[in-house]
Copies of this chain bind each other. A is one copy, B any other.
Amino acid sequence: MAGSQSIEQLSAVLELFTEQHGLVTVDDIMAALGLTRSTGYRTVRALAETGLIDRVSDEGYVLGPRILELYRQLQTGNPLLAVARPLMMALAAESAKGTAVLLCRSYRDQVMCLHQEMTYGPQEPVSYQVGKPMPLYAGSSSLVVLAALPRPRLQRLYERDAALIAKAGLAKSSEEFFRALKEIRKAGSRVSRGEVDKGRIGISAPFVQGDLGIIGCLSIVLSEAHASDMDISRARLQVVAAADDITRQLAGGERQKAAGVAVKRKAQK
C-alpha cells in the first residue's frame, strides 16, 4: 500500500502550501492536481485526519499541528542534531554577543539550515533560517557545502546554473568554477563577508554524514562591525575543529565499524 504514485500526490498537495500562500482551498487542490470533486474532498479529509493539514474556518486549509509534532521528533531524534547541538551550544557560549552558530546541509541542489544557536543579546538578521532552502552559490555555508559535493554532481550543476554562478560572482567559466571549489576544499573552510547579509561575516567548515552523500557544514556568523581579524581566525579554527568532530562522531556512531575506512558507496547519484 501507499504506492509511489499516491505519495507523490500527497507531496504535491503539501507543496501547495508556500510562504506567500499559506491558506489553500479544496478547489486549489483539485485544480492543482486535476482531481474531481469527490476525490478532492476525500483526499483533503484524509490528510486533515492525520493532522498534516488543518481546516481553518470556511476559508480553507493550512498546514496542521502534526507538522509541529514531526518537527519536534526530528529535533529530538535526529542523530546529526544530537551530535551537533552540544557542539553548537559550546561554540555559542564562547562567542561574542550577536554571534549566530548555524548547522546547514545540502538539500535538493540547495542548502538548508537545520539548526541555529544564538548568543544572548540583539542579533542582526541571518538569511539562513531553519527550513529555508538557500541558493548554493553564495555565502560561506553554501560554498563549503558546494565544494564538498562529488565532481559529477558539480558538473551537472555547472551546466545547468552557469548563468547563476556567474551572476553570483563565483566563476565565469567551468574551469574557474572547479578551481575555486578546489581551493575551498583544500582550505577546509571558508570566510565570506557580507555575501548574503550585509554586516555579517560567515565562517564555515564542512562535514560528511555517514557513508552517504549528505554533506553539511557548521558556520559561525559574526557581526562585521565588532569582529577583529583575530576573532575571525579564532572562529575559523573552532568551526573546523567542531565540524571534524561531527564527522568523526557520526562515523563512530555507526556501530561496530571500528576501522576508520568509511566512505565506500558512491555519494548520491
Contact = CB atoms under 8 A, between A and B. Distances in A.
Contacts of A31: none
Nearest to A8: B46
B19 A56 contact: no
A246 interface: no
Contact of A72 (B20, B108, B130): B130
A130 to B, nearest CB: 6
Given A4-B45, A120-B120, A67 B76 contact: no
Contact of A68 (B17, B58, B77, B130): B130
Interface string A70-101: 11111111111000000000000000000000
A269 to B, nearest CB: 12
B112 A69 contact: yes
Interface in A27-71: 33, 35, 39, 42-43, 45-47, 50-52, 54-59, 62-63, 65, 67-71
A188 interface: no
30 contacts: A1-B9, A1-B33, A1-B35, A1-B39, A2-B7, A2-B9, A3-B42, A4-B42, A4-B45, A4-B46, A7-B10, A18-B77, A19-B73, A19-B77, A21-B77, A22-B73, A22-B74, A22-B76, A22-B78, A57-B212, A58-B254, A59-B254, A63-B77, A68-B114, A70-B71, A70-B131, A71-B131, A72-B129, A72-B132, A120-B121
Interface string A235-250: 0000000000000001
A166 interface: no
Nearest to A24: B77
A27 B77 CA distance: 18
Nearest to A15: B50
A60 to B, nearest CB: 10
Nearest to A54: B214
